[in-house]
Amino acid sequence: MDRQRLIGWVLVVWSAGYILYAIKTRLLEVGPPLAHKEWVYFIMAFGGVFLGTMNVRMAAARRRKMGL
């Protein structure tokens, strides 16, 4: 597995994990309201999933182009 694809998967898994954590523990549970910083992190996690998916797809396209 090349580095670009590995980093893409790390971004996808890490960001998806944070999204699931935030939904499960912060949005669905009773507790203090979310701070502004936590909303920013939650939105940035969606950007991480997007960037990770782009990395994985670009690595696959480069691999097909090189004929491997």
Is 0.75 topped by the overall pTM? yes
Angle at 50 between CA 11 and CA 65, to 5 degrees: 90
Cβ pair 67, 25 in contact under 8 A:
no
> pLDDT for 12-45, tens place per residue?
999 999 999 999 988 888 888 888 999 999 999 9
Q: Which domain holds residue 22?
A: 3-66
In whole angstroms, what is the distance from residue 64 CA to residue 15 CA? 27
pLDDT value at residue 2: 87
Tokens representing 26 are 């912060």
Tokens representing 12 are 């996808």
How many folded domains does the chain comprise? Answer: 1
pLDDT value at residue 59: 92
pLDDT value at residue 47: 97
In this model, does residue 67 exceed pLDDT 80? Answer: no
